[in-house]
Chains A and B, each alone.
Chain A
Amino acid sequence: MATQDIIARSATTTPMPSVRQVGEVAKLIDTSKCIGCKACQVACSEWNDLRDDVGSNLGVYDNPIDLTADSWTVMRFAEYENPAGNLEWLIRKDGCMHCEDPGCLKACPSPGAIVKYANGIVDFNQDKCIGCGYCITGCPFNIPRISQKDHKAYKCTLCSDRVAVGLEPACVKTCPTGAIVFGSKEDMIEHADGRIADLKERGFEHAGLYDPAGVGGTHVMYVLHHADQPSLYSSLPDEPAVSPLVSLWKGVTKPLALFAMGAAVLAGFFHYVRVGPNRVEEDPEPGEPIVHEVDPSVHVVDPKGRE
């Protein structure tokens, strides 16, 4: 018997099994305890057998500079001078948020290429991925990346292979300061409450939990010192929501999926679809040498552009 069920599946209209009552899991990332050590990045790549390119330094601590098909989580560093004039180094582990209402899954035209398990994990199945990049468009957090090696989309699996056998994700296990914790979503919210109370006592009056309602909540949540301004944390969306465009596509998902299955050769065309409307991109200033094209087929990153 299956120990977990798939409760949502891309480009599929058949009802999903819903009898077994599987508990929902969540990962809680406490930015106020994070030291940006990147252990989670390394543990993620080690566990998932990923080895990104050895890049270059672009004038910031962030490395790799952005998520790639080979780097499913990255630390984003922001230097913020608060109104009192004190410096805060806001460091955020970026990666898939495992939305309750996943925009990627809704946007995906290939049946079963994106699934959601009853425990809340949203997973990609590269065997079925056609590399169209719609998941990127559908994602309010700009997470999935298309590999230039196999033209398939990749992202954090929340270590579905570890969770399936009762272990915590690799990033959670390794986190030296306990900034990343894992458990039932209920327990994680309770844990966050304790952390928020502590932060308020230390003077962060706007400390709070980031579990955005616009995507139905997430299975990766943040404790933020400044929950009133998520965008301070390297452009974490203040109010993320699944794009209306994706909702429109949802109506035509099935025919599109069938089409896709019959015409996988068109994958190459879809592959060049650019990032969706949720991503704010500023044109780099002329002469700025730090702009770095990470993955030209997907998007451009300007490390200076981030707060």
Chain B
Amino acid sequence: MTNHWADIQNADLVLIMGGNAAEAHPCGFKWVTEAKAHNKARLIVVDPRFNRSASVADLYAPIRTGTDIAFLGGLIYHLISNDKIQHEYVRNYTDASFIVREGFTFENGLFSGYDASQRRYGDKSAWGYEIGEDGFAVVDPTLSHPRCVFNLLKQHYSRYTPEVVSSICGTPKELMLKVWDTIAEASAPDKVMTIMYALGWTQHSTGSQMIRTGAMLQLLLGNIGMPGGGMNALRGHSNIQGLTDLGLLSNLLPGYLTLPGDAEQDYAAYIAKRTQKPLRPGQLSYWQNYEKFHVSLMKAWYGKNATAENNWGYDWLPKLDTPGYDVLKVFDLMYQGKINGYFCQGFNPIASFPNKAKVGAALAKLKYLVVMDPLATETSEFWRNAGDYNDVDTAAIQTTVIRLPTTCFAEEDGSLVNSGRWLQWHWKGAEPPGQARTDIAIMGGLFHRLRELYRKEGGAFPDPILNIDWSYLRPDEPGPDEIAREFNGKALADVTDPATGAVLAKAGEQLAGFAQLRADGSTASGCWIFCGSWTQLGNQMARRDNADPYGMGQTLGWAWAWPANRRILYNRASADPSGKPWDPRKKRLVWWNGTAWGGTDVPDFKPDSPPDAGMNPFIMNPEGVARLFAVDKMAEGPFPEHYEPFETPIGRNPLHPDKPGVTSNPAARVFQNDLELFGKADEFPYAATTYRLTEHFHFWTKHSRLNAITQPEQFVEIGEALAKELGIQAGQRVKVSSNRGFIKAVAVVTKRLKPLTVDGKTVHQVGIPLHWGFTGVARNGYLTNTLTPFVGDANTQTPEFKSFLVNVEKV
């Protein structure tokens, strides 16, 4: 989230789209009801289903799953053509005025530089700004240049007329225009809309671009950085925010630092590429500090063994030969027999990944599988024949499976990062059952053993293993507090202020914040964005002062938020160029007081840079402004374009009906054996989507009796019209099949799913909750991901769980 949960109370308008906050985040959703109660806010829900969020909405509009870019693209054009944008914000705080390079084109559904044989954009050279002789990007503040971002944006979405959008999305035109006009009101500087989205946008083959379109909308309305505004990703799990912040992804290092690729053999070049110089005069371009963060990380991991001479252990980092070994790629390799060992730490891939048959077959090719979990997961028992639910030949599966019992939250100390980026410390309340151990103890125990084996026996490239700094008080089980102090970071030598020479932190002291990090090896910090969480003053994550002196809900004394305890990102943009809040009555966040920036939040800005110095609010971007034009950052182009889901009920892209190459995302990666498994509408006519229910959490709460009682048995949701067509009554069992398998479940027949008219056809949508499996105290059921396609978003490789095709039959 750019903002945070309690800040939603400051919204005047709430758009829930690509998520279902009432269902999946009820206690966060309370701040929507608070905004309604105390701010007279309106709630709009756009979703394929009339869901629990819709049940308390002021306005609900149905949409066909997977068509959100069309809906939002049309809205963008509607705002521009009706002059409903926050002009001053757009002109000053976005790249609307930047001139795009000559040669940038968009024709027949493709941007310039596409390589059809590789299914990717091999040449993105035209996807950038024109750079002047002074080395800065060329801008036209009058927005009249035909190649300025604003005009290209307008031109791109001029095709998204209300008629076209309604035909793609199936949203009735009048209702859609009503939603658009309501949203347009948020273009006033004192009217703020927030967008709450979640996996309903992420889990599409065009998911990243859906989110981008939402962000572009918010920029045009002037809502990023505003209290009650922002782009709010409602993370799905209690600490995937933290684990992402800590870089537990194939291509990342902690704090959104990135691993080098094979070609990056030279350390200096690796750093230089990531240390971006400002693209406009007077801008901060904060990533210029990249090396300070990187060296401090390597000092935290390798201690005194990381030196300037060995480039701070640069060669000890593995190098990537592809953009990343994401889970779809790894499971495809596993399916090909190229992976021998696999670890699942609190993760249940056979339930959570698409195409259960492929995932199960892949696991069966492993030599060894290690599962660490508090619960008996399906993955740990993938080899067990559970009848229809898991019909496998146990004797033929030659995988050794070792299952290690872990503690749960109640039995350990530590911190979690919520969606609002708050690091909150928690305390152990009881001993775990039996011999369960913490994940820390298991990782410590394993590493300790491996290091001893390498020390004694040698082996392949033991250097990083032997050079690691493992000076914990108990090497077998480092304490959570020791580790937290390590990722905050400490001074290895006295850290001084370069301007005054004053000592900021003495050697050995905990650092107060990432501004104290140095690139000379004098500081260590395992995750620069967490620097400040455990300072010399103690554990800041354990703070419990909920005072709210300004009544803006920012509670700066509660826990600790990254970065720098800042609650709302880009909050400089909540003030106008002269430094005054856009709305000084109800939207006070930060402002210029004549000598410094301050206010109700920690300014996301250089605190002493006066407004007339011209520094812009988006300090992480070399431009200093937010990008409506994504330059070369996205796989499928600088402007989001609607492409159909890989399994489309209409079989063509209405924007490009005669171009089969751009029916679906032309830049998405598809594995050969999965391409053959995509279903077609003639055999699988209904658009299906999977989701959570509020009564359950993934595949965990089916192990909890109290939750099993409230939603005991697997079901699917079918609209009344389709049910009538198929002769299905509520409570009967139905078989739902895709080209990858089938599930059987009870039919819930509802008025909440209505057939939509799309591209001249009637499209029925089927809703499939995901919470059941073949272990647990709830009634056993089929893993819903038996049905889903093995293809991901072109940027993140997040699977397309939200849009695919099924058939439905009475059992």
Given contacts A57-B746, A176-B29, contact A87 B708 (CB under 8 A): no
Smallest Cβ-Cβ distance to B32: which chain A residue: A177
A88, A176, A303 pick with most chain B CB within 10 angstroms: A176
Given contacts A63-B712, A79-B752, A177-B33, contact A289 B729 (CB under 8 A): yes
**A202 within 8 A of partner (CB):** yes
Q: Could you say which residues of chain B place their CB within 8 Å of the CB of A38?
A: 694-695, 710-711
Q: Indicate with 1 or 0, residue by residue over A38-72, a CB within 8 angstroms of chain B CB atoms.
A: 11011001100001111111111101100000010
Given contacts A46-B706, A64-B709, A177-B30, contact A54 B778 (CB under 8 A): yes
- Which of A35, A55, A60, A63 meets B53, CB within 8 Å? A35
B40, B709, B713, B750 pick with most chain A CB within 10 angstroms: B709
**A127 within 8 A of partner (CB):** no
Given contacts A51-B705, A54-B779, A304-B730, contact A36 B713 (CB under 8 A): no
**B751 within 8 A of partner (CB):** yes
Given contacts A35-B52, A38-B695, contact A178 B710 (CB under 8 A): no
**A267 within 8 A of partner (CB):** no
CA distance A58 to B746 in the complex (A): 7
- Shortest distance in angstroms between B196's beta carbon and chain A's nearest beta carbon? 14
Whether the Cβ atoms of A89 and B54 lie closer than 8 Å is yes
**B56 within 8 A of partner (CB):** yes
- Shortest distance in angstroms between B584's beta carbon and chain A's nearest beta carbon? 26
Q: Could you say which residues of chain B place their CB within 8 Å of the CB of A56?
A: 712-713, 746, 779
Whether the Cβ atoms of A45 and B752 lie closer than 8 Å is no
Chain B residues within 8 Å of chain A by Cβ, number: 46
CA distance A286 to B40 in the complex (A): 49
**B446 within 8 A of partner (CB):** no
Q: Could you say which residues of chain A place their CB within 8 Å of the CB of B27?
A: 176
Whether the Cβ atoms of A42 and B26 lie closer than 8 Å is no
- Shortest distance in angstroms between B369's beta carbon and chain A's nearest beta carbon? 30
Smallest Cβ-Cβ distance to A32: which chain B residue: B56
Whether the Cβ atoms of A37 and B748 lie closer than 8 Å is no
**B55 within 8 A of partner (CB):** yes
Whether the Cβ atoms of B710 and A79 lie closer than 8 Å is no
A190-227 interface with B by 8 A CB criterion: 195, 198, 201-202
**A290 within 8 A of partner (CB):** yes
A59, A198, A303 pick with most chain B CB within 10 angstroms: A59
- Shortest distance in angstroms between A55's beta carbon and chain B's nearest beta carbon? 5
Q: Indicate with 1 or 0, residue by residue over A73-105, a CB within 8 angstroms of chain B CB atoms.
A: 000000101000001110100000000000000
**B762 within 8 A of partner (CB):** no
Whether the Cβ atoms of B709 and A89 lie closer than 8 Å is no
**B50 within 8 A of partner (CB):** yes
Whether the Cβ atoms of B55 and A89 lie closer than 8 Å is yes
Chain A residues within 8 Å of chain B by Cβ, number: 45
Q: Could you say which residues of chain B place their CB within 8 Å of the CB of A89?
A: 50, 52, 54-55, 752
**A283 within 8 A of partner (CB):** no
Number of residue pairs across A and B with beta carbons under 8 Å? 133
Q: Could you say which residues of chain B place their CB within 8 Å of the CB of A177?
A: 22, 26, 29-30, 33, 56
Whether the Cβ atoms of A55 and B712 lie closer than 8 Å is yes
Whether the Cβ atoms of A54 and B26 lie closer than 8 Å is no
Q: Indicate with 1 or 0, residue by residue over A225-257, a CB within 8 angstroms of chain B CB atoms.
A: 000000000000000000000000000000000
CA distance A304 to B720 in the complex (A): 13
Whether the Cβ atoms of A59 and B713 lie closer than 8 Å is no
- Shortest distance in angstroms between A305's beta carbon and chain B's nearest beta carbon? 12
Smallest Cβ-Cβ distance to B748: which chain A residue: A59
Q: Could you say which residues of chain A place their CB within 8 Å of the CB of B54?
A: 89
CA distance A55 to B746 in the complex (A): 13
CA distance A289 to B810 in the complex (A): 13
**B715 within 8 A of partner (CB):** yes
Q: Could you say which residues of chain A place their CB within 8 Å of the CB of B708?
A: 54
Given contacts A38-B694, A42-B706, A288-B729, contact A59 B50 (CB under 8 A): no
Q: Could you say which residues of chain B place their CB within 8 Å of the CB of A173?
A: none
Smallest Cβ-Cβ distance to B26: which chain A residue: A176
- Shortest distance in angstroms between B777's beta carbon and chain A's nearest beta carbon? 6
Q: Could you say which residues of chain A place their CB within 8 Å of the CB of B730?
A: 58-60, 290, 303-304
Q: Could you say which residues of chain A place their CB within 8 Å of the CB of B778?
A: 54
Q: Could you say which residues of chain B place their CB within 8 Å of the CB of A45?
A: 706, 709
B24-56 interface with A by 8 A CB criterion: 26-27, 29-30, 33-34, 36-37, 40, 50, 52-56
- Which of B52, B695, B748 meets A60, CB within 8 Å? B748
Q: Could you say which residues of chain B place their CB within 8 Å of the CB of A36?
A: 52, 55, 694
Q: Could you say which residues of chain B place their CB within 8 Å of the CB of A81?
A: 751
17 A-B pairs besides A59-B748, A63-B695 with CB distance below 8 A are: A35-B22, A37-B22, A37-B26, A38-B710, A51-B706, A52-B709, A53-B709, A55-B709, A59-B746, A61-B748, A64-B709, A71-B709, A87-B751, A176-B29, A177-B22, A177-B26, A303-B730
Q: Which residues of B contact A (CB under 8 A)?
A: 22-23, 26-27, 29-30, 33-34, 36-37, 40, 50, 52-56, 58, 60, 694-695, 705-715, 729-732, 746-752, 777-779
Q: Which residues of A contact B (CB under 8 A)?
A: 32-39, 41-42, 45-46, 51-61, 63-64, 71, 79, 81, 87-89, 91, 176-179, 195, 198, 201-202, 288-290, 303-304
5 examples of A-B residue contacts, CB within 8 angstroms:
A41-B709, A52-B709, A57-B711, A57-B713, A57-B714
